[in-house]
Amino acid sequence: MLTYYITDRSQFAGSEGERRRQLIRTVGSAAAAGVDYIQLREKDLPIRDLELLAREVLQVIRAAGRTRLLINQRTDVALAVDADGVHLTSNDIAASDVRALAAKSRPAAQLLIAVSCHSAQQVRLAEAHGADFAVLAPIFEKVNVTTNGIGLAELRAAARKDLKPDLRIEAGDTRRSFPVFALGGVDLERAALCAAAGAMGIAGIRLFQQSADLPGLVRSLRSL
């Protein structure tokens, strides 16, 4: 099971400077623990501030190991800081367009593209446009949030859990699977249910950012 940590410095206490420092420390801990992907999702920051934070975060990640950094929505910032990729929402331009734009400054295949999706249909669209993986949410209802979870059945459909490989090939799909990460109300117990439903990874904010034992959490998720 792969792991995907989505940042949110607003969850930390203190001044803006203190929250940023805590975020960078948490990112470093996550990278050292072996988290596969980190999405820098500080949507409220002006572009210049986001770029500066991304450079600091990337330096910490590179020093820690193999974790890859994706920038939320801002392909320009991702390319400017030489991040590993970009995370798009379902309302952004298509992954294929982003890859075409990125090809002007680096080999397009080197840019990872993730897409937030809220249905199996959106996952298929992201796949068709050449995204590397999708983050499907919200799988479960979250505490103090009125949005209903889309459920494990939708995750199974998005991950093609019940579609045999030979049927995928007959349909013209030469890949064994398209990676789908489960997000939304996922804890360690629910992560096992997501794995059984076909998720290739688990994404989360609080799951990683508020963990008292990141190495242990990553080991437990990886074993699913």
CA-based nearest residue to 196, from 157, 154, 152, 164: 152
pLDDT tens column, 187-212: 999 999 999 999 999 999 999 999 99
Q: Which of 29, 26, 33 is nearest to 11 (CA)?
A: 26
The full DSSP string for 90-151 is TTS--HHHHHHHHTTTS-GGGSEEEEEESSHHHHHHHHHTT-SEEEE--SS--TT--PPP--
User: Both tokens of residue 185?
Assistant: 């109300």
Give CA angle at 16 (14, 18), nearest 5°. Answer: 55
Question: According to the model, what pLDDT value does residue 13 have?
Answer: 96
Residue 103 has pLDDT above 90, yes or no: no
Positive or negative, the Cα torsion across 172, 176, 179, 180? positive
What percentage of the chain has pLDDT greater than the value 90? 83
Q: Is the pLDDT of residue 224 over 80?
A: yes
pLDDT at 220 over 70: yes
Tokens 């590397």, residue?
132
Peptide bond between residue 138 and the one before it cis (omega within 30 degrees of 0): yes
Let me know if domain 2-222 sits in CATH 3.20.20.70: yes
Quote the CA–CA distance of 100 and 216 in Å, as a whole number.
39
CA 188, CA 168: separation in Å to the nearest integer?
31
The tokens 């991040």 sit on which residue?
Answer: 83
Give the model confidence (pLDDT) of 6-53 as tens digits: 999 999 999 999 999 999 999 999 999 999 999 999 999 999 999 999
Q: How far apart are CA 82 and CA 27, in angstroms?
A: 17
Return the H-helix or E-strand segment holding 18: helix 16-33
| Model pLDDT, residue 173 | 54
Residue of 162, 121, 118, 113 whose CA lies nearest to 136: 118
pTM exceeding the 0.85 threshold for the entire prediction: yes
Q: Is residue 91 within 8 Å of 76, Cβ to Cβ?
A: no
Query: Based on the number of CB atoms within 10 Å of its own CB, is 106 exposed (0-12), middle (13-18) or buried (19 or more)?
Result: exposed
